[in-house]
Structure 1
């Protein structure tokens, strides 16, 4: 057996008396792409931060290339050949790509910064990665998320990294950018660089990774070759139970009623000619590639960027939505795609967040509705220390449940869900899928937006597909990915 690049044995870690990791092992071979998976709270981030030198383990050993190492600072991990690309990038936006790549190790000539040599070295790394659309002289603050991620990877390679840890690397990427990341990971593998890949997206894990390590409740469940396990079995290992149906069926007794939301010829600077109807008890999915107009329709319905053309009706009554307050008063709710930046006050309690819509709008505020909040949180299976716990300490899935409760407390008739499962684990996803079905069964009109086509196909009763700011077609729920993608790319399904 060859010497592993990384061998972590019996790793333990506790914070304030709470055991977060217990006797966890992780072994990674040179040039291997190794997935680290588990529900939120399983201990993935803590293990990754121990490897990155952010935290020191309380127990266990770490060997790198057969040599025992002990990190008490991230710089020690970097010097040992370990680089980490977290969801929040460690880049300076006002500096160029080359300056970020060489930060702290800038080449000098006669005591002065050698910008030319820095740019040439950076271009060599980018060329080696097969990246030809990123200029070393570009300011990082002007780059897309994908190109910022490439800058982080280039920085890691310039430091001589043998192992790159990636935390949810595709969470904020468009479809085309995900393909670019795939190519980068494979190029790294060809160079003999190992990748620790932390992700909730099963498709990426099975597309890219050679082996998978599963954590649950801070303990090692198993490490297994990807070829020896199915996605269903992996989900079972992660959540500790078998999820027989990933997408729950339409609930018995769910009836499709009157039209609750109707848009006729809606348009603004971003979308045009939008004709959309959503009935009570119906889930309508909006599908399309990044930039197709899905989120723009959600923002128009909620009055963030209102429709300036066409007409809008809610429950048969014409209405002009000019801002979010008007939308809330009309019974429209919006669960935004970025819960941390737009949906929550992270420093406030669960209770304060859950009553935020009621407190902010006189028309929705009532003692009866406030009294329903605890029941709503309970019905959503919120896992928290109590309603006084700060939201920032909750897992991503539980944060999303608080956002949903915040809107349900206002008793809307129409709820727009923009990427409701982004960045949450498979167990929390399944619960939210059930919640979406329950909302329809209660007579709400549900508009669902999701980048993962399988979610739209699995949940929606009808699928409205967008291309270049316009509706390009409509399909029934259960349509194939090929049919949706045909409309999404401006063609017609075969």
Structure 2
């Protein structure tokens, strides 16, 4: 039997004249953890969809050899039957069904043609023990956090006797504890002989867990790096991903004297009637002209809730305390009032809340400020195109056309469109919530460069991020939140991972 459980040979795939994959070769040895890395749009997910049967045989060229046999998958179930399971970043679970019902969905246990739910519960407990998830199998999926839902997906795959487990950005929405728990589980599954392919933009995770890492760029295989030879390093991965060396992923900007205070919060409290508790309590914060203020904290610390309360109280919290804009007291009861006051908020959920995925790029960019390009309620389409083209060039949005649907763009380019939409409003204060979540290192560098340009032009930025490296690399000052309270403020000289984590866990 071959050492390789999977060989994908000369795989090519086109979409309406655009070549997504060009003669890709990808080999995975039995029992290894093999990471697949590359920029957004490089072809990683497309390659895995070819492998799993989402793109059926005949829609691509080349051969898939699994367990020594050439495969011709016409649908996902074909790949499942031979032992391949894929878990996407957007989890495919039924929120209103129980854990055990989700684990055996489509693979129900029967006894004499009748569904045997009692046995399903017993077997579900075994699968949950394998993934170290201590929950009642009868718990509804919607009552679990994202990290636990991810483990249910893996339990579901294990119930089908998976031989090759594929995970697409499995830790993108997880906090550090849940991420490390998932990586440790993958190491345990490796010991049991399960092979794993993981797509990830988090290079530290790739370096930590992978036996080998294959880099794809512009739909082509660039190289396969071997961890046992010390080849899987951050510098090596970045150079092969982007085709050039990036010495410092966080571009430097010269220190300069800051301007007046743009925003100040005094004893700011936001009460959520739905939860029946404060999501922010007695917060004191200020932001000066021309600075980036980072807000760090663990998931659930209240960072996003604080941002929403500032941005016209988009979540309808009950607010107490004072907000000052350029030294003047202000009351922002609606998002429209915040926009008029030249505050913009780029949401962490660009697909769910930030963009209209079924509309084109120019429509998404113009939507936040249609009055600027309208007369008597009619949009000037030529002006709309000119505006969109300007942001396409200044933000480096990679697209063949401004008529391209935003849903068809890579994550990095979607984030740039979202940023362009809010820059068109002309803000003085820009709130960025997880600005680089789920995007590759090259696109991150471009986003950071744009942030520096905006700061140099006198804009102010509040950046919420779960990546400590990002907070430390880009912020002039750092606030740390925990349980809705501001636990501390650190200068750039005082800020380091130890100090931030100490405050975040108080």
Q: Same fold (TM over 0.5)?
A: yes
Is residue 246 of structure 2 the alignment partner of residue 243 of structure 1?
yes
Relative to structure 1, the CA distance from residue 394 to residue 105 in structure 2 (aligned partners, 3 Å threshold; closer, same or farther) is: closer
Count of matched residue positions in the alignment of Structure 1 and Structure 2: 488
Unaligned runs of 5+ in 2: 272-278
| More moved, 50-59 vs 402-411 | 50-59
CA contact (8 A) 1:251 1:441 kept: no
How do residues 344-359 of structure 1 correspond to structure 2 at under 5 angstroms? 344-359=355-370
How do residues 249-260 of structure 1 correspond to structure 2 at under 5 angstroms? 249-251=252-254, 254-260=256-262
Paired position in structure 2 for 1:471:
486
Is residue 386 of structure 2 the alignment partner of residue 375 of structure 1?
no
Using the alignment, how far apart are the partners of 1:313 and 1:487 within structure 2? 26
How does the TM-score come out when normalised to structure 2? 0.92
Using the alignment, how far apart are the partners of 2:111 and 2:233 within structure 1? 55
Decide which of 421, 432, 436 is 1:406's aligned counterpart: 421
How does the TM-score come out when normalised to structure 1? 0.94
Displacement of 1:462: 0.3
Using the alignment, how far apart are the partners of 1:166 and 1:486 within structure 2? 32
Is residue 128 of structure 2 the alignment partner of residue 139 of structure 1?
no
Paired position in structure 1 for 2:28:
28
Paired position in structure 2 for 1:320:
331
Is residue 145 of structure 2 the alignment partner of residue 149 of structure 1?
no
Paired position in structure 2 for 1:216:
217
How do residues 17-416 of structure 1 correspond to structure 2 at under 5 angstroms? 17-55=17-55, 56=57, 58-131=60-133, 133-226=134-227, 227-251=230-254, 254-269=256-271, 270-302=279-311, 303-305=313-315, 308-359=319-370, 372-416=387-431
Unaligned runs of 5+ in 1: none
Relative to structure 1, the CA distance from residue 128 to residue 393 in structure 2 (aligned partners, 3 Å threshold; closer, same or farther) is: closer
CA contact (8 A) 1:129 1:184 kept: yes
Using the alignment, how far apart are the partners of 1:15 and 1:81 within structure 2? 28
1:390-442, Cα deviation, whole Å (9 max, x unpaired): 21121111111111111111111111000011111111110000111111111
Relative to structure 1, the CA distance from residue 282 to residue 348 in structure 2 (aligned partners, 3 Å threshold; closer, same or farther) is: same
CA contact (8 A) 2:392 2:398 kept: no
Displacement of 1:244: 2.0
Displacement of 1:330: 0.9
| More moved, 366-375 vs 321-330 | 366-375
Displacement of 1:361: 8.7
Using the alignment, how far apart are the partners of 1:61 and 1:137 within structure 2? 42
Q: Which runs of 4+ in 1 moved over 4 A?
A: 360-363, 365-373
SS of alignment partner, residue 271 of structure 1: strand
Relative to structure 1, the CA distance from residue 123 to residue 139 in structure 2 (aligned partners, 3 Å threshold; closer, same or farther) is: same
CA contact (8 A) 2:2 2:68 kept: no
Paired position in structure 2 for 1:434:
449
Relative to structure 1, the CA distance from residue 411 to residue 139 in structure 2 (aligned partners, 3 Å threshold; closer, same or farther) is: same
CA contact (8 A) 1:235 1:243 kept: yes
CA contact (8 A) 1:373 1:409 kept: no
CA contact (8 A) 2:361 2:388 kept: no
CA contact (8 A) 2:212 2:232 kept: no
Paired position in structure 1 for 2:459:
444
CA RMSD of aligned residues (A): 2.2
